Structure 1
Amino acid sequence: MKKSSFIFGTILLALVNVVVRSLGFIYRILLSRTIGAAAIGLYQMVFPFLMVVITIPTAGIPIAVSKLVAKEKSVHNREGIYKVLLLSLVLGGSISLGLSVAVSLRINFIVNNLLKNPNLYYPVLWTIPAISIISFSSILRGFFYGLKEMAPAATSQVLEQIFRIVFVLSYLYYKAPSNPIAAATIAIIGISIGEVFSLLYLVLRFNFKKIMEKTHYLNVHSNSTLEILNHVLFISVPITLSRLISVIMQTVNAILIPQRLQVAGYSSIAAIETFGKISGMAMPLLYLPFTVTTALVINIIPNISEQLAVNNWQDIEYKSNLALRITLLMAIPTTIVYVVFGNHLAELIYDQEDVGKYLALISYGTIFLCMQHILSGILHGMGKQIITTVNYLLGMIVQLYCTYFLIPNPKYGIYGFFIGFILSTFIIFALNLITLMRYIKITVPLTQALLKPLFASLLMIITMIYTYRIFFNISSSNGLSTIISSLVGGGVYVFLLLITKTFNLKNLIENIK
């Protein structure tokens, strides 16, 4: 893939991610306002459990499919492409089936001993159908990404969000649940509904006739088949472990944070509501920049894999440094806006200013979070998934330590979680950066990539503050003032990037033609 097509693919995926995340974000806002903080807290206790379960078949295998399909495509091995897909579907399907059976047989143990809340029986029960559906759709998306066919995978994600939102909100509107547990159950069922339509679309877009005409692909005893399976496992297992650590931490936090807050003096209801505001309201805002970094990661993994197959290190260095610069252009202003302007955004979106206080504190880690994400993607593309897993584990140990020992201390309370989160994101970022510098030369200019975006971001936030004050004095409306000031501030930031030549619009247009 040429440099220009890499830029075009990133822009396309970023735009699609904006649509998908915007739909998801709007859904989360409407859901939180419809079912309340208590139901959101229960939903957030079950949702991480589902993420733990589906991480095993979906975290590493789709990335392995994308990487290996891109590699086989670079050497024009059509048979290898479909072998990778078939073996991955069989592997992912077998794992998801086993997990579904295990959850169904041990559901009482999960609810009573792991989640420690017997009222979560039906929400957990309704996670079972989602396991296999999500597994197959994720693998098929990885296949399309590896072929550089972004449209089917992207469209399926949009459809998943639309059908989930329509089902859940329509049900809640026509038949309001009688209690928070029923509301959380409906939200969980919506996950399966959305994924069903997503999978159906991917199946319709896929030509299975090409595979069925080549039945010899299913010869699992051939050396090439075993070799491909080994490659899939070598790539997917470390990535799966890394992602598993992440979602296990979410589950641990869902269980541990409310418990440790009660030790610090919070009531049971206050502890669940505080956790719901952070994990269900502040954190989704924090992860909005991932619309860009996810597009970069999805795009850069198969691209680096493709260039490694032909030993083109010059192109690998170019795309890696370009991805880092793009990430900084987005992460620096986002961090500043969340820290300074977070309370206005939270009041606009959730009508709860205290969520803005949490957002302002946790967003100090935004820039490190974004950078660790893209750095891990580059390293995964280079086949360094084991070291990224080790780096991530070290960071999570720090976060777990702070959660367990700082939160119960009344001096820190919930702020102990924020301290651990920021420290862990910085540690993972630093370790990934040091690792990458061992393999390629990082040539990110200090002035262009850091100082100019920082200068533009500071002027942007000053403009936003004064614009907000002017319009608030006129309208006395936080919502209108926040929207206008955000639009003006965003325009000022882009304008400053252009006049300082940090962002060359002419070159970008020429590159994507």
Structure 2
Amino acid sequence: MKKSSFIYGTILLVIVNFLVRSLGFVYKIILSRLIGPEAIGLYQMVFPFLMLLITTTSAGIPSAVSKLVAKENSLNNREGVYKILTISLFIGGTLSLVLSILVSLNMDFIVTKVLKNEAIFYPILFTIPAISLITFASIIRGFFYGLKDMKPPANAQIIEQLFRIIFVLSYLVYKKPSNPVLAATIGIIGVSLGEFFGLIYLIFKFNLRKLNPRRHLIKIYTVSSLKVASSILYISIPITIGRLVSSLIQTASSILIPQRLIIAGYTSSEAIQIFGKITGMAMPLLFLPFTVTSALAINIIPNISEQMAINNMDDVSEQCNLAIKITLLVAIPITIIYTAFGNHLAQLIYNQEDVGSYLSIISYSTIFLCMQHTLSGILHGMGKQIITTINYLLGMVIQLYCTYFLISNPKYGINGFFIGYILSAFVIFALNFITLKRAIKIRLSILQLLIKPTILSSLTALSMLYIYKASYLVTTSNFLSTMVSALLGGILYLLLLSITKTLNIKSIIKEIKG
């Protein structure tokens, strides 16, 4: 395998993640202005429910497909590659069909007893097509990731987002529906429509002509389907459990945090405002580096799996070191910038300076969250998804404990949530790191991975401050000055990394060019 495949694939996915998230961010702003707060409220009630449903079918199976396809492809086993895809589609299709039937038969119970809002009957109804569409699209994306062909799934994500945005906004602008239920329903239909066109594109790119003649197809099915299915389930079930627990913890936190703040002495209005500022404003900024780490995690799984299959442990170790290095080179400067300029960013983006204090505190978890994300991808690629899930569950227990017991204590208040969140992120990272160290030899240089990036990031942050002040004197624009300082700061950071040989940028460019 060429090193460029890992680097190129990661950069491509980072760009696509950034583009898709940017489109989604702008879309949400325009959507909220077009349909109003009531319709947005209904939409936001339904969307998490849909995400919970598809977690069951699309959280673990695509990762399993990516890992297993990469393994069989490294052994030149075309039969195994297409066998894995066929059986995973069958498993995913069966699960999505069962979920669709269950939702269809229990609509009244869901809207009246679970979500407790009869107005969302039709939005919930139109989530049903999305279950199967998202499941199949996710599995085929996992297939392409396993082949290390990143372009089709990257393009499919952009197509999904564009078709959803174009359909929803065009309908809303043309029809101007005054009924908030109809407006929310259109938003949900847009999800299914976007996924449909993304899936069509993936099927087209899959190109059935790549399969061998009919006699080869018959031979494929002589391999034990039960063994392949058990391998898929063995990998996917722990990952799915982890994702489901994460969704449930988020749901529990949305209920517990305001309740425990009220017990600590806050008014109901204050508690809801604090919760909204943390989860709706500070947290989205905190997750910004995940555009890089999620790309790393997706890309590292098939690469590690492929090298493990041919017992090339030296390359596994090398890729682990590279992934960890990239993660730290992104996470360290982001942490310093959030800590130093949290108030400024919050004022600029949300016009809410107190959000900055929350961002500055919670940003101490950035390094641990990013490392946790990358290490999980490495361990999944090595087939250690069970221990990774156990590590995650232990961390979530700590977070839930602190949320319940510390927030209600007036001595801590909302700081109890921050303590739990940072401690949880650190524990999961530490456990994953220990697991990795026991599994493989990794060579980590404290100077190259921690000391140099911290010094260079601090110098960059200081330079950005002076660049901002100089730019503001010329432009008198807070926004433009911030953009100029961010752009020049990013360029300066890359130059410093290159000059100090912390990152060989010339080598990376050569590898990307092939």
TM-score by length of 2: 0.91
Which residue number corresponds to residue 88 of structure 1? Answer: 88
Which residue number corresponds to residue 71 of structure 1? Answer: 71
Residues 308-347 of structure 1 aligned to structure 2 (within 5 Å):
308-347=308-347
1:10 partner amino acid: T
Residues 245-324 of structure 1 aligned to structure 2 (within 5 Å):
245-264=245-264, 271-272=271-272, 274-324=274-324
Which is further off, 267-276 or 376-385? 267-276
How far is 1:59 from its partner?
A: 0.8
Which residue number corresponds to residue 376 of structure 1? Answer: 376
How far is 1:206 from its partner?
A: 1.9
Which is further off, 66-75 or 373-382? 66-75
Which residue number corresponds to residue 429 of structure 2? Answer: 429
Residues 32-111 of structure 1 aligned to structure 2 (within 5 Å):
43-111=43-111
Which residue number corresponds to residue 455 of structure 1? Answer: 455
Tell whether the 8 Å contact from 1:40 to 1:276 is kept in structure 2 after alignment.
no
Q: How many Å separate the matches in 2 of 1:215 and 1:484?
A: 61
How far is 1:228 from its partner?
A: 0.9
Which residue number corresponds to residue 2 of structure 1? Answer: 2
Alignment: residue pair count: 513
Deviations along 1:49-91, whole A, 9 cap, x unmatched?
Answer: 2222111110111111111111111111111111111111010
Which residue number corresponds to residue 201 of structure 2? Answer: 201
Residues 406-485 of structure 1 aligned to structure 2 (within 5 Å):
406-485=406-485
After superposition, the Cα gap between the structure-2 partners of 1:365 and 1:75, relative to the gap in structure 1 and judged at 3 Å, is same
Which residue number corresponds to residue 503 of structure 1? Answer: 503
Q: How many Å separate the matches in 2 of 1:350 and 1:174?
A: 30
Which residue number corresponds to residue 156 of structure 1? Answer: 156
Q: How many Å separate the matches in 2 of 1:185 and 1:268?
A: 30
Tell whether the 8 Å contact from 1:463 to 1:489 is kept in structure 2 after alignment.
yes
RMSD of aligned Cα (Å): 2.8
Q: Secondary structure at the match of 1:459?
A: helix
Give 5+ residue unaligned stretches, structure 1: none
2:234 partner amino acid: F
Give 5+ residue unaligned stretches, structure 2: none
Residues 392-411 of structure 1 aligned to structure 2 (within 5 Å):
392-411=392-411
Tell whether the 8 Å contact from 2:5 to 2:148 is kept in structure 1 after alignment.
no
Which is further off, 181-190 or 461-470? 181-190
Q: How many Å separate the matches in 1 of 2:60 and 2:91?
A: 12
After superposition, the Cα gap between the structure-2 partners of 1:73 and 1:243, relative to the gap in structure 1 and judged at 3 Å, is same
Q: How many Å separate the matches in 2 of 1:455 and 1:41?
A: 45
After superposition, the Cα gap between the structure-2 partners of 1:35 and 1:359, relative to the gap in structure 1 and judged at 3 Å, is farther
Q: How many Å separate the matches in 2 of 1:444 and 1:415?
A: 33
Q: How many Å separate the matches in 1 of 2:189 and 2:211?
A: 33
Tell whether the 8 Å contact from 1:293 to 1:370 is kept in structure 2 after alignment.
yes
Tell whether the 8 Å contact from 2:331 to 2:370 is kept in structure 1 after alignment.
yes
1:284 partner amino acid: P
- Give identity over the alignment, percent: 63
Deviations along 1:399-441, whole A, 9 cap, x unmatched?
Answer: 1122223334455444433322212111111110011000112
Q: How many Å separate the matches in 1 of 2:121 and 2:264?
A: 28
After superposition, the Cα gap between the structure-2 partners of 1:156 and 1:451, relative to the gap in structure 1 and judged at 3 Å, is same
After superposition, the Cα gap between the structure-2 partners of 1:466 and 1:375, relative to the gap in structure 1 and judged at 3 Å, is same
Which residue number corresponds to residue 237 of structure 1? Answer: 237
Deviations along 1:164-190, whole A, 9 cap, x unmatched?
Answer: 222333444455565876655444333
Which residue number corresponds to residue 192 of structure 1? Answer: 192
2:344 partner amino acid: H
Deviations along 1:203-256, whole A, 9 cap, x unmatched?
Answer: 222223556954885899855221111111111111111111112222223343
Q: How many Å separate the matches in 1 of 2:136 and 2:324?
A: 31
Which residue number corresponds to residue 133 of structure 1? Answer: 133
Q: How many Å separate the matches in 2 of 1:450 and 1:105?
A: 55
Which residue number corresponds to residue 143 of structure 2? Answer: 143
After superposition, the Cα gap between the structure-2 partners of 1:355 and 1:167, relative to the gap in structure 1 and judged at 3 Å, is farther
Q: Secondary structure at the match of 1:438?
A: helix
1:479 partner amino acid: F
Q: Secondary structure at the match of 1:383?
A: coil
2:98 partner amino acid: G
After superposition, the Cα gap between the structure-2 partners of 1:441 and 1:161, relative to the gap in structure 1 and judged at 3 Å, is same
After superposition, the Cα gap between the structure-2 partners of 1:438 and 1:39, relative to the gap in structure 1 and judged at 3 Å, is farther
